[in-house]
Amino acid sequence: MKASREATRLFVGGLGQSVSAADLQSQFSRFGDVSDVEIITRKDDQGNPQKVFAYINIRVAESDLKKCMSVLNNTKWKGGTLQIQLAKESFLHRLAREREEAQAKNEKSVLGNTNLLEKMGMVDFHMKAVPGTEVPGHKNWVVSKFGRVLPVLHLKNQHKRKIKYDPSKYCHNLKKIGEDFTNAIPVSNLTWELEGGNDPMSKKRQGKFSDFFSPPKKIIKVQKDQSSTLSLTLRPRPGRVIMENPHLPQQQTTQEIPNDPVTLKSPQLPDSDSQKLKSVFLQTSGLENTGNKNSISEDDIDSEDELRLMIAREENLERTTWSSINEYDSFEIVRDDFKSDVHKLCSLTGLGNKNVSCFDSEDNVGRDYDNDSGDTDDTAMKKNVGKVKKSTGFPQMEQSVYKKSSLKNRKKCELSDHCTKVQKSKTNVELALSHRVKQLSFKSLSNSSSSEDADSLSESAESEEGKYNAMMKNCLHVTLSLADLGHLAASDLKAPKEDSESGGWETTSKCDRASKSHGTSGGLHRSRQCIYPEEIVASLLEGEENTPGKQKPKENNLKLKFQAFKGVGCLYGKQPVKKSLKENVASSNINKNEHSLKLEDPTSMSLEKGLPYSNGSSSKLTPFQGAKKADDPNYIQPQKRQFTFKTQNHKVQSPSSSEKGSRNPISSLLPLKDKKPLRLGAETSLRGFDEDCCHGTTKTGEDSEKRPDLTSHMVPENSPEFSRMNTQGSKTDFPFSLNSSSNVFAKDKHAEDNQKRLSALEARQKAKEVQKKLVHNALANLDGPPEDKPTHIIFGSDSEIETEETSIREQSQLVEKPVKEVLSRASGTLFGSSSEEESDPEEDRNRFRIKPQFEGRAGQKLMNLQSHFGTDDRFRMDSRFLESDSEEEREDVNEKKTTEKEELAAEKLKALNIVQSILQTNLSNSASKGSVPAKKFKDIIHYDPTRHDHANYEKKRDDKPKESKAMRKKKREEAEKLPVVSKEMYYDITMDLKEIFQTTKDSHEKKDAPYVDCDEEKAKEVHVPAAPVMGAKQPSGFTFSFFDSDTKDVKEETYRVETVKPSRTAWQVAPRFQDSSSEEDDVTEETDDRKSSPGEVSLPAKETTRFFFFSNNDERLLGSDLFWRGMGGNISRNSWEARTNNLRMDCRKKHKDAKRRVKPK
């Protein structure tokens, strides 16, 4: 029986209030042993008991319990309906029992039962323990809810706090899986199949992607490339490229190979430039391992815009869409006010651009290399050239390349020329250059290179292209042996030696021979080379507009360009030296040019060589040329000339005689650079002596002219006239060049050449003579007055031009005349133009001539009248006229304007109406016009720092702290002074005691000074004594109604300070008082506002403290009663105290209630 009895806890509810524990115990003891009765009464807020219930611990058998329930449940007992239920075990009991159990278990485990488990290496997890009990022997393992043993987790929080996760405190989410788990569908069956045919869409839907799509990244890349117009990038997989870009030109593949070296270089160069480039590289390399270099560098990025696009695209890809691209569904939906952060990107691209520009130039180089054939894209080349000019870095590199390889390359080029076929026109130009270089192999190559560089800058695009081609050539032909070079050099050496022996022209011819002997088809080559420049020049000449255009800029520009010309001149000059001597028949202009050329070339050669024998040769040459030159203008000794020609022809083997003529226009510029003008002049003068011509004097004059000309030209004077003259000269030359070009074809056979040349020369001579006759006739008619001279002289020779003008001025008149004559004769063809210019001075003269109508007295009178006409008062324009007119006009204009404005306004209104009708919503909005812009600009305010009303948008940082500092300081000072001031008050209050306390006050002031000086600590010390004083003075401390009790000494004191003023105003205190007020540097204004009430507040303190000052009922204090509610303050305080007490009580009560409420639970 007893065993069946269980300790149960019963809940007995619905008890009457009078029920006691004993009653319950007696009542329930019928059924079992009642061990404990606990009666609990629930009370409401007022403390009235609402519920009374009890917990009864009872040991009872089941049957008894049932009986008990059936008997007692729902029965009325002592004013309540009993409700009996089984209750949970009391926690105390439970705790005790658990402890016991735990102890028992421990003992058990120690004894044996758990030993088994431990032996088996297992833990008995099936503990009946209450949740929260620790698993014995395992730290941090806890019985969780539902009886599982789980570890206590120590998690790290974001805030660096450790979170302890105790599984016993939380319900975990473990759930038992139902039995139907076995019926689960296999995973393979889970994916449902989409219906659809074989079309790609359905396939894609099914997740089958053709390998075209399989690597989405690459696809994107390809797309990107497509989008970039360049689209030259090479994919890592060419097959895909072909698929994607069927139009990828094969050029790329071909170009790629030559580009590669460049691209390899490129990363090194940009290193210094910018990191951005690197980054680009890195990025791309990250994306594509193999192809990226090519893709970036070799993409012939024509324009920076495209580059920018490229980069932006790439960055975009990286930044945003790499992840999203794979999924097609990845578009986002944004709100209307969406704004993306593009600025960053832009800036990035901007950075990138710079770097890429470097690439550009390099790309250009690469292209140049690529375009070996040279005939592909002229336009492209030109573009490149332009770019080269733009990018500063690139030309330098180029130059350096030139300088490095100039010697070798050119010679090699030369060799290659001989070995290979004739190149195209541009290359030919370059070849000619190189040819020249070869023959001047001993020249300092730096010069030539510099000249070439200058060429590259100044010359036309064609020549540049040629140069580029040549560069490429050079690069290609780097393999040539040094032996060849040496051979060439030897030949060159030979040539000058021969020169010294035989004569100027021989040297050149021998050079030619030597070169020919070296080359297989040298003669042909040379001829062709000659042809091409000639052609170019011819084309230049033909395009009369072109030539001035081209030459003018050249001349207008710097010395560099002159150097360039010099280079060109050298180019041509060499050949003329060889062959040109025959062709003196050409016009005097041409001859002169040639002479200058000839002179310059050898001299320059000699100069650059720096060898004595070369000088000798040059000297030899120059006399010869000089003689010829002297002959030419004269045209008196054609036979001689012919003779010389013949000799030259015999000796000279190079057939192309005509080139020289063509070259002349260019070579005419050479004298500018000529470094031996003086020598030339001297030589010519010598020749002049030798000559038999009747115009000997004229010649000398010319020579003398030439000298200054040349010298003056040494200074880079550039003038359009000059160029014009040149062009004119070239015009005259042109026919000859044409003739000569016809001769060109028969170069190989000397005999034929010579014959033809002779015939041509004769023909030319005849033509010349005819011309000369014409000139003579024309000259004979002209009685040139001295004033006309300068104009005439301008038409002289190409080379002389302006210098003539200047030189003529400088020189004597005597010289000028013959000069003029000579020049005029020489330039027969220019005569027409000269006549045009002649008219100008005549006009000038006519201007100053008295007009026929003014001749005579009548005429004079007329003139007077006319001169007077303007000043006559009658014809004076009055302001009246002006005003009336202007007013009318103004009115008109105004009317027009107003009408226009009205029209526009009307139109606008109409448009707005239509807008309203269309939108149908914004009727109200558009009704007020101003509201629209206001609305528009409401959100975005353009901050204008110059506007004053925008100042409130500014942040004032500095002012506030400063102010606060000042305030603080002031406050501190106030605080320091306050006690002193309050003391003063006593003495100041009454006028009578003024004198008595005068001295004391002074002393106080003296005290004051140290207070002010001392810092805060002292100030506090001052306060501390001050406060007790105040307290002493205020026995009735509760006079302050709004400060509950004594809050802050400082505050009180501040108010105390203010008391000074009311007292003064009230009682008309003496001016001395003002000193004290001023002493405490202007107590702030706000205090003045408040002064009335606190002032009175302080008064009672005085009254109480210094009673003897006032009688008990001072009439002065009577009025203040109105303001001062000292008694009222007491009353209010009492009421306040009462209220606070009430409140406190209430608070306590509530607190207790809350406590009570919490307690049972």
Partner 1 sequence: MRPLTEEETRVMFEKIAKYIGENLQLLVDRPDGTYCFRLHNDRVYYVSEKILKLAANIAGDKLVSLGTCFGKFTKTHKFRLHITALDYLAPYAKYKVWIKPGAEQSFLYGNHVLKSGLGRITENTSQYQGVVVYSMADIPLGFGVAAKSTQDCRKVDPMAIVVFHQADIGEYVRHEETLT
State the residues that interact with partner 1 by CB under 8 A: 201, 204-205, 219-220, 223-224, 226-227, 312-313, 316-317, 320-321, 324-325, 328-329, 331-336, 338, 340, 342, 345-346, 900-901, 904-905, 907-908, 910-912, 914-915, 917-919, 921-922, 925-926, 929, 932-933, 936-937
Nearer to partner 1, 110 or 915 (CB): 915
Q: How far apart are CA 236 and CA 219, in angstroms?
A: 12
Q: How far apart are CA 492 and CA 498, in angstroms?
A: 10
**Amino acid letter for position 201:** M
Give the nearest distance from C-beta 926 to partner 1 in angstroms: 6
Give the nearest distance from C-beta 312 to partner 1 in angstroms: 6
Q: How far apart are CA 188 and CA 1084, in angstroms?
A: 87
Look-up of token digits 């206001």: 934
Q: How far apart are CA 1063 and CA 986, in angstroms?
A: 11
CA nearest neighbour of 5 among 61, 70, 58: 61
Tokens at 314, concatenated? 């790439």
630 exposure class (CB count in 10 Å sphere: 0-12, 13-18, 19+) = buried
Give the nearest distance from C-beta 945 to partner 1 in angstroms: 21
**Amino acid letter for position 372:** D
Give the nearest distance from C-beta 950 to partner 1 in angstroms: 18
Give the nearest distance from C-beta 220 to partner 1 in angstroms: 5
Tokens at 583, concatenated? 């062709």
Nearer to partner 1, 336 or 959 (CB): 336
Give the nearest distance from C-beta 313 to partner 1 in angstroms: 5
Q: How far apart are CA 468 and CA 946, in angstroms?
A: 57
Q: How many of the other CB atoms lie within 10 Å of CB of 460?
A: 19
Dihedral angle over CA of 1121, 1124, 1129, 1132, nearest 10: 90
Nearer to partner 1, 900 or 1021 (CB): 900
Give the nearest distance from C-beta 223 to partner 1 in angstroms: 4
Nearer to partner 1, 329 or 1017 (CB): 329
Give the nearest distance from C-beta 345 to partner 1 in angstroms: 6
> Residues for the chain: how many in total?
1161
Nearer to partner 1, 678 or 893 (CB): 893
Nearer to partner 1, 895 or 1121 (CB): 895
Q: Where are the alpha helices (DSSP H) in 694-830?
A: 696-714, 720-744, 750-781, 789-793, 801-810, 813-826
Give the nearest distance from C-beta 322 to partner 1 in angstroms: 11
Q: How far apart are CA 499 and CA 503, in angstroms?
A: 5
Give the nearest distance from C-beta 285 to partner 1 in angstroms: 19
Nearer to partner 1, 161 or 936 (CB): 936
Give the nearest distance from C-beta 319 to partner 1 in angstroms: 9
Q: Where are the beta strands (DSSP E) in 123-274?
A: 141-143, 149-151, 153-156, 162-165
Q: How far apart are CA 584 and CA 644, in angstroms?
A: 9
Q: How many of the other CB atoms lie within 10 Å of CB of 601?
A: 28
Give the nearest distance from C-beta 727 to partner 1 in angstroms: 37
Give the nearest distance from C-beta 224 to partner 1 in angstroms: 6
Nearer to partner 1, 7 or 219 (CB): 219
Strand order in the sheet with 32-43: 32-43, 49-60, 6-13, 83-87
Nearer to partner 1, 204 or 1033 (CB): 204
At residue 865, φ and ψ (nearest 5 deg) are -60, -45
Nearer to partner 1, 116 or 923 (CB): 923
DSSP assigned state of 32:
E
Nearer to partner 1, 213 or 869 (CB): 213
Q: How far apart are CA 509 and CA 845, in angstroms?
A: 56
DSSP assigned state of 945:
T
Q: How many of the other CB atoms lie within 10 Å of CB of 23?
A: 17
Angle subtended at Cα 225 by Cα 208 and Cα 275, rounded to the nearest 5 degrees: 115
Nearer to partner 1, 200 or 1037 (CB): 200
Alpha-carbon dihedral sign for residues 339, 340, 341, 346 = negative
Nearer to partner 1, 780 or 918 (CB): 918
Nearer to partner 1, 143 or 301 (CB): 301
222 touches 208 (CB < 8 A): no
Give the nearest distance from C-beta 830 to partner 1 in angstroms: 43
List, in sequence order, every residue forming a beta bridge with 60; answer none if it has no partner: 6, 32
